A and B are shown apart, each in its own frame.
Chain A
Amino acid sequence: MSPFILATLLFALGLGTMITFASSHWLLAWMGLEINTLAILPLMAQHHHPRAIEATTKYFIAQATAAAMLLFASATNAWLTGQWDIQLMTHPLPVTLITLALALKMGLAPMHSWLPEVIQGVDFTTGLVLSTWQKLAPFVLLLQLQPTNSTLLLALGTASTLVGGWGGLNQTQLRKILAYSSIAHLGWMTIVLQFSPSLALLTLIVYFTMTFSAFLMFKLNNSTNLNSLAISWTKAPVATALAPLVLLSLGGLPPLTGFMSKWLILQELTKQDLMPLATLLALSALLSLYFYLRLAYSLTLTVSPNTLIGTTPWRHPTSHLTLLLSTSTVATVFLLPITPAIVTLFSLLGT
């Protein structure tokens, strides 16, 4: 791909999200989402591999459906209430439709099935963009909606955490596991969205940090399935030694960063007197933890038999930029002690 085209597309990717951030009018928010979708398509299909093309087509169809539904819902809103403002939605029908459309855009549970297929079809860098940057614009719109019915978001969130846990159990492909992990984390975020928006933002950012280091770690090891993980300790020993910490942080074990968001969400749910839901969520985290633990096991906690030559290959200086990986790994592992500072920061951002 020509660097000029690449720069144009990346600029458009940023522009789309920024337009959605800045808009208070549904038409403009829709425009931003469409620019975002358009700009990512050539990046996904840049190698013209059949799997990548298939993933691009699936992504395009899912996103176009969601965008059309969003446009339909906002036009219905303008018809029913006579205004296009995002924050002044009063009628329950457009609010529900828009919530579902945004859930389809982000890949929340009943509308999630495109996400693992798409992430599996593209390379790690594009998958990282899809599971971080592309979630921001729908999330910001979802944050600004005034929910008329709290059950919808709770149901979406609970279904996402359960599906994210159960779906990942049987996978051997890393990108699919990461996609299911994305679904589960977004489910946690959706559940707390209406009770504490700043906590939802915190969950999203913490998830971005963790998934950033997981994607970069697998990219460094150049491994896309469980089998090839078993020899990655011979390629990058330090990164592999830290990998279980990153994975268990994604799973939400204390004293790692991932525990922070789960802890605070469970606390918020108990404050809202939603004990059964909090219990269900905590149990669904166990499902996710199982496949993270299996990844960690085959990556580091066991040494599979191999020949002497197989275990001692030449280790050339890596050409990957590891600065980002090391920074995000440190953030993924060590941020729990400064939880009060982070919570304060995000509650300041939320106001």
Chain B
Amino acid sequence: MSFFMSLLLLGLVLGLIVVASNPSPYFAALGLVVAAGVGCGILVWHGGSFLCFILFLIYLGGMLVVFAYCAALAADSHWESLGSQSVAATMLVYGVSVGVLAGGFYGGWYESSWLTVEEFHELAVHRGDAAGVALMYMPGGKMLMIAAWTLLLTLFVVMELVRGKNRGALRSI
């Protein structure tokens, strides 16, 4: 458990460093997906099985489509991959700063503080995160309707912003 958890946490930090160190969009998207996937793994070990299931399937599924489009639009001939000089230098800086910060907190974190949510991390019906979904639909139903309406609003906003081909906002000037 300890080894696997450390591996996942290391993966999370590395993924975020890859995103932050400004490589080409392909690699940034890759880093984001790695970070999100590993984050889901951490959630599983902390007992949020259902939560991470939802996050991985729906949110990451949608995000992957968006990133495929972004990467296709931002195609460039000179890739800034992880090995290129500027990216590697930035990664080194971020890595060292994370190391220094972690060193500052060293000793305050230990394995027994890694608690699971409800003392076991198997998937079951009566769990915190599954009960949270029920709560969201029952007392938070009206808020859920507002949230759904906001998603629809976002669609209208995006369509209004990119409307009108060469007269619209997305054009070359």
Contact = CB atoms under 8 A, between A and B. Distances in A.
Interface of A: 1, 5, 8-9, 12, 15, 19, 28, 31, 34-35, 38-39, 41-42, 45-46, 48, 50, 53, 56
A31 B169 contact: no
Interface of B is mostly: helix
Contacts of B153: 8-9, 12, 35, 38-39
B150 A48 contact: no
Interface of B: 143, 146-147, 150, 153-154, 156-157, 160-161, 164, 167-169, 173
A50 B153 CA distance: 24
A193 B84 CA distance: 51
Nearest to A35: B150
B147 to A, nearest CB: 7
Given A1-B160, A39-B157, A42-B157, A28 B143 contact: yes
A4 B99 CA distance: 54
Nearest to A38: B157
Q: Which 4 A-B pairs have the closest CB atoms?
A: A42-B160, A53-B169, A12-B153, A38-B157
B106 to A, nearest CB: 20
17 contacts: A1-B160, A5-B160, A9-B153, A9-B160, A12-B150, A19-B146, A31-B143, A31-B147, A34-B150, A38-B150, A38-B154, A38-B157, A41-B157, A42-B156, A46-B160, A48-B167, A50-B173
Given A31-B143, A35-B153, 13 more contacts: A1-B160, A9-B157, A31-B146, A31-B147, A31-B150, A35-B150, A38-B154, A41-B161, A42-B156, A48-B168, A48-B169, A56-B161, A56-B169
Contacts of A28: 143
A39 B153 CA distance: 8
Contact of B156 (A9, A19, A46): A9
A15 B154 CA distance: 14
Contacts of A5: 156, 160
A19 B150 CA distance: 12
Nearest to A8: B156
A45 B156 contact: no
A274 B151 CA distance: 48
Contacts of B169: 45, 48, 53, 56
A59 to B, nearest CB: 12
A48 B147 contact: no
A74 to B, nearest CB: 16
A135 to B, nearest CB: 21
Contacts of A53: 169
A31 to B, nearest CB: 7
